[in-house]
Structure 1
Amino acid sequence: MSKHKIPLTNREISWLYFNDRVLQEAADETVPLIERIRFLAIFSSNLDEFYRVRVATLNRLTNVNSQVKEVLGYNPKKILGEIKNIVVKQERKFDHLYEDVIIKELAKERIFIINENQLNVSRGQYVRQYFLQKVLSNLVPVMLDDDKPLPELKDRAIYFLVKLTHNNHKQKVRYSLIEIPLDNMSRFLVLPETNNLKFIILLDDIIRYCLEDIYFIFEHNTVEAYSIQLTRDAELDLDTNVSEKFIDALTKSLQKRKKGKPMRLLYDNGMPLDMLTYLVAKLDLDADALIPGNRYHNFKDFIDFPNVGSPELEYPKLPPLRVKGLTVNKSILSQIATRDFLINLPYQSFDYIIHFLREAAIDPKVTEINMTLYRLAENSKVINALINAARNGKKVTCFLELKARFDEQANIFWTNRLEEEGVMVNYGLLDYKVHSKLCLVTRREKGKAVHYANLATGNYNEKTAQLYCDHSLFTSNKKITSEVKTFFNSLNKKTFHHHYQHLIVSPLETRTKLTALIDAEINNALAGKKAWMILKMNSLSDEAMITKLYEASNAGVKLQLIVRGMCCLIPGLPGYSTNIEVISIVDKYLEHARVWIFGNEGDEKIYLSSADLMTRNLDKRVEVGFPVLDKEVAREIRDIISIQLKDNTKAREITRSNNNPYKKQGKIKYRAQDDIYTYLKTKNQQP
């Protein structure tokens, strides 16, 4: 199989198929209604980021020469055309779901989202009073001049393009822009209930209703307002000095991000042609950047849509389960000293990690804490615990990745906060993002340094830990902790260590070690032995790794893949992937764990990792995979993966046609996320 000749789905196109699975959840009638609205919001937010990053990158590549296109393996301009076709269809599906399905379903629940034309006199008075008291002072309308360029539009902000006309044709048509002030105001206003009917109006429509209160000084007979949203290039061009200069450069680049090249203009498809023509001329946009949308943009705000109806309109909030054998009313460290423990998020509580850090912060025998941090919660208990440790005289070193996309600003803030409190902050590495999720606590016991580690597949973020499915391992096993210590020593020196015996670390060794594990299964298959592997990840796009998986399939290795997001591998292709099955689970929680299981002639090898099988994770990031050595923990991981492979409710099959069919249901219905909760709950009740 020669390079660039193997069958692949383009990664951008594959990502759009993933986002379509999110849209499927919004369309699923078995999903509670408010949750369906939230899935629409997730779809919209995902698409915004896709345009800001991936489409921005493709736009940069459109002017490259044919040789570069050959290296890429595709024509960027052609892919941009395909993206637009798919996105337009998805936007139509989105509009249909919201306008023709969700709105009607809300009405059945006696909940009505009404616009400015549906206000009666009393509700109209209530809205106008709210506008005058709360909204008007936040509005800054800008009058547009034909001879002057359009003011700089903020990335992802919602604006109204307003047109004022007069019956007297001698009067000049006036245009104006108003930014909808979402930074400091709720998008939704719940109106007074009437006859047990609930009414909600959007801030957009409150402003529409009160346009006359804004433009009364201009003579006009009609005033029209249509919403627009500009999505800009969000990639950063940085000077690569990792130092205080780097923080300064990053801060300046973040300011530039707001003024990046326009990637997409989403506009109300009801906008008259003359207004759209005026706008496009002012913005100097390519036709491919124009995406017709519905009346409301920035639908991501609907993630906070208020549930004014019954609790059944949302998923019930299940209480987090205890971890069998691990209690918080005695020393966490002393319990980890006896055996490994696995925290399965979000089914079990992230508080175990907080208790681990808090204990380390006050334990007189703890001398040192090392930790990698990538994305943090807004009010981070993790940070508070580390600060407390520093105040208690511990040596605390954090590897805080400043280049975590869209979290850069927050991480600069946390860097300054930690340094003020005496925590040593390492800003990461020059050309590599530190994406690993590790914490190492060092304790003096009988005159010797003893290490306790937490290794995870997801971020140390207590907010996302309530929504993301991840695994977090506590261990004092010297085989692992000694190598975690070596890993942190290397990071301190800004170097990479070779030849770990147990850890699988990017950028130097993940590709080669994972390839060796796959090769072992290939050799078993060629020798007539049973050979198989199960790989779970967020994304699969690295071409060399896909080539290796095709090779394994052709050798007779059975591969079962669970890939939530983009999957560039095409299953079921004769001569390539007839032994490969791929499913994607999209449900109420976001599947985020990376799990690798190899048959190994009956002596299974199980690894957890922070790395997806993407080129950046294998070659350009600092990632850590780690073996599951405790037999009880290994059995638990294996059981959870088996439950996921059985899912026939929320699992979609990734197929050659990329139409996201749900796995066929048999006589018994399996839903992995419900079944895992039940499994862990039952296990916890066993003696």
Structure 2
Amino acid sequence: MTKKKVPFLNREISWLYFNERVLQEAADESVPLIERIKFLSIFSSNLDEFYRVRVATINRLANLNEKSKALLGFNPKKVLNEIKNIVVRQERRFEQLFQATLINELAQNRIFILNDTQLNVSRGEFVRNHFRDRILSNLVPILIDLDKPFPELKDRFLYFFVRLFKKGSKNKRYALIELPQDLPRFLILPETNGLKFIILAEDIIKYCMNDIFYIFDYDELDAFSIQVTRDAELDIDKNISDKFIEELKTSLDKRRKGKPMRLLYDTEMPFDMLSVLVAKIKIEAESLIPGNRYHRFGDFIRFPNVGSPTLEYPPTPPLKVLGLHRTESIIDKIATKDYLINLPYQSYDYIILFLREAAIDPKVTEINITLYRLAENSRVINALINAAKNGKLVKVVVELKARFDENANIYWSNRLEEEGVQVNYGLTDYKVHSKICLVKRMERGRAVYYANLATGNFNEKTAKLYCDHSIFTAKREITRDLVKLFSALNNHTVAKGFKHLIVSPLESRNKFYRLIDREIRSAKAGKAAYLLLKVNSLADEGVVNKLYQASNAGVKVKLIVRGICCLIPGIKGFSENITVISIIDKFLEHARVYIFGNQGKEEMYLSSADLMSRNFEHRVEVGFPVLDDDVRQEIRDIIDFQLQDNVKARDITKLNNNRYHKNRLGTKVRAQVNTYNYLKNKHQQD
């Protein structure tokens, strides 16, 4: 009897289905118009990173021999081909949405995006003056000699590929123009009769192209935008040493010169120009992606709203937390009970106030914290520096290998060290991805600890957009384990033997499996058994197999997975008891919540970890139990809103068609709106 193949969706393909859900938001007519443009921007930025990292990795794997490919479980070249087919289809949908739908809807709101062919005399003069005053001196065209190597195109920079010729002549010259990254992308033109006009930098340059090449005797200039996305994976020695930061800086410099993974080009570009470009860049066929007129669409996240405020989501001012006050000691409050901050619905200021209080409290002697991604003007950093200046022992684990945040983290590390903070650059073989802080306070001659543990980063900027849970606690079950964990991290080691925390890389997998196995035993004994897991990504084969095992035993499994989901629900003999939904809405669902039925004594854990192999084996992650009954119920209520969502939730099925989730509820349930209103009512201050 042959063993049935375990259903497992390729993670790259699953990710593309996730990004299609982002594209759905841009198509959703109930979403305000400017927000729909921003969702196109998010889709584009996501795709850039996907090519820089994931496609780059698959491309490297494509060179493996057949035996190695068999061990992978998939054919890299076949996956690359499937990726291109899906991306080309999505790019067509993207272009249709932008050009045929959103631009028309902007026009209905008396807002017009003009290109270089649509300027009248007065607006043309305004644009030309702006070009000569603000742009021209920043442009350096490069004339191309086809007999010499082509200039190196930088990763994600915008370029014009230009063809110059004289009518009646067969002689053609080519040029390249690089657009500076700090060049403002949008110019608001003077309003006329209540009509608003916006033009992009590319169209300004195209309109004024003759001003760039005026010294040449050419009467025909054709210019088309292009963008190259390169392999951005770091290639560094894993040895953490005094030279590590220098090695990292060198690798970051090399990142711009990685192998081209994708060439986005304007589909209006003539074939002979495209042929010259492809031959000179030496890019492979599957990496050639026909795009639209405007590339690096990620910049559209800053698209100016020159119309009504109703074209954007109404503001949701951060709410207060009942019992916590700006003029009362947070530490004193935490000593009596746990407090939960639900971001971004509630204010991130409570975390800053906790750190600031620790920085000036005479009884506080030590602060330990892990930092992964930080805000540009970090108040977290300022609080830690103030603590060091006030004589506290401040120990910070900074993860220098946080992808695309390496330069920022190097900068902050230097700032901290200059101010007397002890900076630990993490571990040789593992990223420190946990989000934990521990404050030591001397009370009546003994050490008492206060902690903050979260599902998201100590980053006040992303805390305005990401849905996360952050818990304050002084419970000794938690703080004792944290003392042990920070002791190990500060000694550049990993630890095990934690009683209450679930810590990667040494213990998470086994502890997680044991919690699932407990539900399996309950189901086999005829008792009610269930799992409810909320994560960003589910891609670990071991976990997928364990969940299939639970389903087959009769455990009811409900999953909320925003992004990658390699598990395929609804497959007979594997996943008949598993349902999966994904929620894409105004805020980014980022929290990781693990709930286990436990025979009626429900247990809940929050975590910094997704269900991916890297989180189990290559990162220091922390899962922590929610021990306070009130806090646990509040999180459960929020999870229930998400399970009931019939507005922004999509069903993840074997069809991968991202159908919106429907249920029997008579009223519309939009989880993020319900959550905000629920917290607003529950936490009304006295």
Q: What TM-score, normalized to structure 1?
A: 0.99
Provide Cα deviations, 1:121-140, integer angstroms capped at 9, x if missing partner: 00000000000000001101
Q: What is the distance in 2 between the residues matched to 1:76 and 1:499?
A: 39
Give the aligned partner of residue 123 of structure 1.
Answer: 123
| Contact 1:457–1:472, Cα closer than 8 Å, also in 2 | yes
| Contact 2:318–2:347, Cα closer than 8 Å, also in 1 | yes
Provide Cα deviations, 1:625-664, integer angstroms capped at 9, x if missing partner: 0000011101111111111100000000001010100012
Give the aligned partner of residue 681 of structure 1.
Answer: 680
Shift of the 629–2 alpha-carbon distance from structure 1 to 2, 3 Å rule, reads: farther
Q: How does 1:214-229 map to 2 (within 5 A)?
A: 214-229=212-227
SS of residue in 2 equivalent to 1:685 = coil
Give the aligned partner of residue 558 of structure 1.
Answer: 556
Give the aligned partner of residue 16 of structure 2.
Answer: 16
Give the aligned partner of residue 345 of structure 1.
Answer: 343
- Shift of residue 3, structure 1, vs aligned partner: 10
Q: Does 1:156 align with 2:159?
A: no
Provide Cα deviations, 1:73-115, integer angstroms capped at 9, x if missing partner: 0000000000000000000000000000000000000000000
Q: What is the distance in 2 between the residues matched to 1:74 and 1:5?
A: 13
User: Letter of the aligned partner of 2:430 in structure 1?
Assistant: Y
- Shift of residue 575, structure 1, vs aligned partner: 0.2
- Shift of residue 440, structure 1, vs aligned partner: 0.3
User: Letter of the aligned partner of 1:672 in structure 2?
Assistant: A
SS of residue in 2 equivalent to 1:414 = helix
Q: What is the distance in 2 between the residues matched to 1:497 and 1:622?
A: 10
Q: How does 1:574-585 map to 2 (within 5 A)?
A: 574-585=572-583
Q: Does 1:95 align with 2:95?
A: yes
User: Letter of the aligned partner of 2:503 in structure 1?
Assistant: V
Q: What is the distance in 1 between the residues matched to 2:387 and 2:668?
A: 48
Moved more, 186-195 or 65-74: 65-74
User: Letter of the aligned partner of 2:396 in structure 1?
Assistant: C
Select the residue among 536, 543, 546 that pairs with 2:544. 546
Select the residue among 387, 390, 401 that pairs with 1:389. 387
Q: What is the distance in 2 between the residues matched to 1:258 and 1:497?
A: 37
Give the aligned partner of residue 400 of structure 2.
Answer: 402
| Contact 1:383–1:418, Cα closer than 8 Å, also in 2 | yes
- Identical amino acids, percent of aligned pairs: 67
| Contact 1:399–1:426, Cα closer than 8 Å, also in 2 | yes
Give the aligned partner of residue 209 of structure 1.
Answer: 207
SS of residue in 1 equivalent to 2:654 = coil
Q: What is the distance in 2 between the residues matched to 1:3 and 1:304?
A: 53
- Shift of residue 2, structure 1, vs aligned partner: 10
Provide Cα deviations, 1:214-255, integer angstroms capped at 9, x if missing partner: 001111121010000000000011012212211110000000
| Contact 1:240–1:430, Cα closer than 8 Å, also in 2 | yes
User: Letter of the aligned partner of 2:326 in structure 1?
Assistant: V
Gaps of 5+ in 1: none
SS of residue in 2 equivalent to 1:267 = strand
4+ runs of 1 displaced by more than 6 Å? 1-4
Give the aligned partner of residue 174 of structure 2.
Answer: 175
Q: How does 1:587-666 map to 2 (within 5 A)?
A: 587-664=585-662, 666=665
Q: How does 1:5-84 map to 2 (within 5 A)?
A: 5-84=5-84
Q: How does 1:236-635 map to 2 (within 5 A)?
A: 236-635=234-633
- Shift of residue 204, structure 1, vs aligned partner: 0.3
Q: What is the distance in 2 between the residues matched to 1:561 and 1:49?
A: 26
| Contact 1:343–1:471, Cα closer than 8 Å, also in 2 | yes
Q: What is the distance in 2 between the residues matched to 1:549 and 1:511?
A: 13
- Shift of residue 580, structure 1, vs aligned partner: 0.2
Q: What is the distance in 2 between the residues matched to 1:148 and 1:4?
A: 56
- Shift of residue 541, structure 1, vs aligned partner: 0.3
User: Letter of the aligned partner of 1:531 in structure 2?
Assistant: A
Q: What is the distance in 1 between the residues matched to 2:146 and 2:65?
A: 38
Moved more, 301-310 or 486-495: 486-495
| Contact 2:162–2:223, Cα closer than 8 Å, also in 1 | yes
- Shift of residue 402, structure 1, vs aligned partner: 0.2
Q: What is the distance in 2 between the residues matched to 1:559 and 1:649?
A: 22
Matched residue count: 685
Q: What is the distance in 2 between the residues matched to 1:36 and 1:656?
A: 28
| Contact 1:4–1:73, Cα closer than 8 Å, also in 2 | no
- Shift of residue 200, structure 1, vs aligned partner: 0.1
| Contact 1:467–1:589, Cα closer than 8 Å, also in 2 | yes
Provide Cα deviations, 1:335-361, integer angstroms capped at 9, x if missing partner: 000000000000001110000000000
| Contact 1:531–1:599, Cα closer than 8 Å, also in 2 | yes
Q: What is the distance in 2 between the residues matched to 1:31 and 1:63?
A: 44
Q: What is the distance in 1 between the residues matched to 2:456 and 2:439?
A: 19
SS of residue in 2 equivalent to 1:116 = coil
User: Letter of the aligned partner of 1:93 in structure 2?
Assistant: R
Q: What is the distance in 1 between the residues matched to 2:104 and 2:273?
A: 31
User: Letter of the aligned partner of 1:407 in structure 2?
Assistant: D
Q: What is the distance in 2 between the residues matched to 1:664 and 1:394?
A: 54
| Contact 1:243–1:427, Cα closer than 8 Å, also in 2 | no
Q: What is the distance in 2 between the residues matched to 1:167 and 1:204?
A: 25
- Shift of residue 685, structure 1, vs aligned partner: 2.8
Shift of the 372–3 alpha-carbon distance from structure 1 to 2, 3 Å rule, reads: farther
Moved more, 677-686 or 84-93: 677-686
- Shift of residue 619, structure 1, vs aligned partner: 0.7
Give the aligned partner of residue 133 of structure 2.
Answer: 133
SS of residue in 1 equivalent to 2:401 = coil
User: Letter of the aligned partner of 2:471 in structure 1?
Assistant: L
SS of residue in 2 equivalent to 1:440 = strand
| Contact 2:320–2:684, Cα closer than 8 Å, also in 1 | no
- Shift of residue 67, structure 1, vs aligned partner: 1.5
Q: What is the distance in 1 between the residues matched to 2:70 and 2:326?
A: 57
SS of residue in 2 equivalent to 1:36 = helix
Q: What is the distance in 1 between the residues matched to 2:238 and 2:685?
A: 54
SS of residue in 2 equivalent to 1:494 = coil
SS of residue in 1 equivalent to 2:225 = strand
User: Letter of the aligned partner of 1:148 in structure 2?
Assistant: K
- Shift of residue 5, structure 1, vs aligned partner: 3.3
Q: What is the distance in 2 between the residues matched to 1:143 and 1:471?
A: 54
- Shift of residue 70, structure 1, vs aligned partner: 1.3
SS of residue in 1 equivalent to 2:117 = helix
Shift of the 132–3 alpha-carbon distance from structure 1 to 2, 3 Å rule, reads: farther
User: Letter of the aligned partner of 2:175 in structure 1?
Assistant: S
